[in-house]
């Protein structure tokens, strides 16, 4: 019994210490660098997370690019309003939480941000296609990130709108029917969950803020 109590005390101490460390990680924004990726993790399953998988099976439905503007923290992202700058504080007030990902190896950060900024003002791509002018969230990342030799960091993958049983989620069948087209299953594209699982991305830590209720615009694929 004596040893059991001692173990319980040690375990409680370890959990408290771990909790303090995690809390520090959750709110420490000073570690963010230009071109870090902010992956939004939803608190609920949705049409995106039902057919895509994030790192550690987390429900990732959006991704944005972190940067400093006039020494203030912002992201550049593709949302309902199009490709825009958004203050980081506004991003962190959304429901759920964010994972911070960093591209491994040498990245041309200046060229990456310039490529992203060149897409500002583009409309949001509600069809999630790679051969048109509008942009969706993970497509912005795919088009922006480059190595010093000019090669893109992220290639496209065949898109899928199927659930674990191999059938297309009815939501997407209905969604594309409204636009008069078939589900673009297998066409080249990207999704934020898959980007978070790339070997070239290291998920560093989590940022979680309490409070907000604002949503990310659009059903992002």
Please give the distance of CA 185 from its chain centroid, rounded to a whole number.
21
pLDDT tens, position by position, for the chain (221 residues)?
Answer: 444 444 444 444 443 443 333 333 445 678 899 999 999 999 999 999 999 999 999 999 999 999 999 999 999 999 999 999 999 999 999 999 999 999 999 999 999 999 999 999 999 999 999 999 999 999 999 999 999 999 999 999 999 999 989 999 999 999 999 999 999 999 999 999 999 999 999 999 898 864 433 333 333 33
CB 196 within 8 A of CB 54: yes
The set of residues, in sequence order, having a beta carbon less than 8 Å from that of 26 and lying 6+ positions away, is 205, 206, 207, 208
Q: Residue holding tokens 């296609």? A: 129
Tokens of 160: 């899928």
pLDDT value of position 155: 95
pLDDT value of position 27: 53
pLDDT value of position 31: 86
């Amino acid at each position: 019994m004596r040893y059991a109590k001692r173990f319980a005390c040690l375990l409680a101490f370890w959990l408290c210490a771990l909790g303090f460390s995690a809390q520090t990680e959750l709110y420490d924004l000073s570690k963010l660098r230009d071109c870090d990726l902010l992956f939004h993790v939803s608190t609920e399953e949705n049409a995106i997370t039902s057919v895509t998988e994030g790192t550690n099976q987390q429900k990732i439905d959006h991704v944005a690019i972190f940067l400093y503007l006039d020494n203030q923290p912002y992201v550049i992202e593709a949302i309902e309003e199009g490709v825009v700058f958004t203050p980081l504080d506004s991003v962190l007030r959304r429901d759920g939480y964010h994972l911070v990902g960093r591209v491994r190896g040498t990245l041309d950060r200046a060229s990456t941000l310039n490529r992203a900024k060149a897409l500002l003002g583009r409309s949001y791509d509600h069809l999630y296609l790679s051969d048109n002018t509008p942009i969706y969230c993970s497509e912005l990342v795919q088009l922006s990130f480059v190595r010093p030799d000019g090669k893109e960091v992220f290639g496209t993958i065949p898109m899928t709108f199927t659930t674990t049983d191999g059938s297309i989620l009815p939501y997407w069948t209905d969604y594309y029917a409204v636009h008069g087209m078939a589900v673009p299953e297998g066409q080249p594209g990207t999704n934020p969950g898959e980007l978070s699982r790339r070997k070239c991305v290291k998920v560093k830590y989590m940022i979680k803020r309490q409070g907000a209720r604002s949503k990310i615009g659009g059903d992002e694929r």
